[in-house]
Amino acid sequence: MIEVSKRLDGIGEYYFSKKLREIEALNKEGIRVLNLGIGSPDLPPHPDVLKVLHEESSKSSVHAYQSYKGSPVFRYAVSEWYRNWYSVELDPNTEILPLMGSKEGIMHICMTYLNPGDEVLVPNPGYPTYRAASKLAGATVREYHLKKENHWFPDFDDLNAQDLSKVKILWVNYPQMPTGQLPTQELFEKLVEFSKRHQILIVHDNPYSFILNNHPMSILSIPGAMDTCIELNSLSKAQNMAGWRLGMMIGSKNRIEEVLSFKSNMDSGMFLPIQLAAAKALSLPESWYKSLNDQYRIRREKVFELMKILKCSFDSGQAGMFVWAEIPEMYNSAYDLSDEILSHCRVFITPGGIFGSEGDRYIRVSLCSTVGVFEESMERIQSQISNLKLYHV
């Protein structure tokens, strides 16, 4: 009998992978579930991006294996994008590594730097892949807790008081997912100082910086950050290209070369027309982001209405493509509320506990649905009010 490897012990299938199967089964039974859980943009890329993809993929010379370091055209576009929006100067030849989505980069970084016995600091609440990828690489995961009363920022006094001698990587993500907390200059400065003090590699995951945020920030804008930090970024959210699998790792020349030593054994580079279309996407003007955020702003107002129906409290200033809201006291956990809404109303809302114990009393709603879907969700919930616990206490 063939057994799975021990590295999968305690990993389990990704929550959304299982939940989507459950929702699909209900849909096949003729029960239409409104899925408000997944942050997969439903809007298309810019027409000019699609035009480049069509034109380039029609050429006969673009179908061969590509460079492990990606197209120079794409890397140059990334460097210009970082200069224009983040005020960060990059060498496109040595400080940028294209990725098949930033999620791929998370795994590459873990496999490049982590050994059994190493420790990794992951945010609670935070993106579950940080934990899973670190464990797959054999490291021991340690949580650092983010709390509402501290604006969902790390408690540096607490961290500095701990024994960090075995910690090799700290994962961080602002605008923060799932809480929507925006970064500050002071936060990034503290992170860079912390990384230098303890010789810990900071990996900043930065895919949400343009969504409902007028001031995109990069941790690499802090002097000295390139020495101790890596940043991951993506075209999935701000360019509506999630299914294209396009991202990038930004770091010093040494970091890029170190990660490439692992990555080059895992893939052979992205389809060239996709990279050329991505370069076009990164050159889009400010009007593109304004139009995108105008739509997300309208949707967010609808979700705020939905949260009020569910008697949840929330911060109206949060950024990113989700709304993070605290559940009413009558529920033991967000799983209870999520399950109740799915059972009675056939609406799926993500329970915050999947992001860590600090999310147990929160729910997260994606903005990646039309206004019509949010309105229908509210109608369904209101029609089942008599069956919901929150209106019986």
Instruction: Give the residue numbers spanning the domain of 273.
Output: 60-284
Task: Using alpha carbons, select from 191, 184, 256, 192 the residue that is nearest to residue 223.
Answer: 192
Sheet with 96-99: list strands edge to edge.
96-99, 247-250, 229-234, 201-205, 167-172, 119-124, 140-145
Residue 386 pLDDT: 85
- Entry pTM: 0.94
Residues 116, 190 within the same domain: yes
Q: Which helix (H) or strand (E) holds 258?
A: helix 253-263
Convert the pLDDT of each residue in 38-77 to its tens digit. 888 999 999 999 999 999 999 999 999 999 899 999 999 9
- From 249, 284, 319, give the residue that closes a domain: 284
Write down the mean pLDDT value for the chain: 94
* Tokens (6 digits) for 316: 């109206």
Residue 239 lies in a domain: yes
pLDDT band for position 14 (cuts 50, 70, 90)? low
Q: Which residue has the tokens 């400010």?
A: 286
Q: Which helix (H) or strand (E) holds 132?
A: helix 128-136
- From 226, 256, 284, give the residue that closes a domain: 284
Q: Which residue has the tokens 């990704």?
A: 14
Residue 301 lies in a domain: yes
Instruction: Name which residue leads in pLDDT, 112 or 37.
Output: 112
Residues 213, 259 within the same domain: yes
Convert the pLDDT of each residue in 74-94 to its tens digit. 999 999 999 999 999 999 999
For residue 60, the tally of other CB atoms under 10 A from its CB is 5
Q: Give the least confident one: 5-9, 97-101, 114-118, 197-201.
A: 5-9
Residue 78 pLDDT: 98
Convert the pLDDT of each residue in 131-187 to its tens digit. 999 999 999 999 999 999 999 999 999 999 999 999 999 999 999 999 999 999 999
Q: Is 266 helix (H, G, I), strand (E, B) or coil?
A: coil
5: DSSP letter: P
CB 78 within 8 A of CB 92: yes
pLDDT band for position 16 (cuts 50, 70, 90)? low
Number of domains in the chain: 2
Residue 390 pLDDT: 76
CB 53 within 8 A of CB 273: yes
Residues 219, 271 within the same domain: yes
- From 236, 260, 284, give the residue that closes a domain: 284
Looking up residue 16, the CATH number of its domain turns out to be 3.90.1150.10
Instruction: Check the CA dihedral 154-155-160-163 and report its sign.
Output: negative
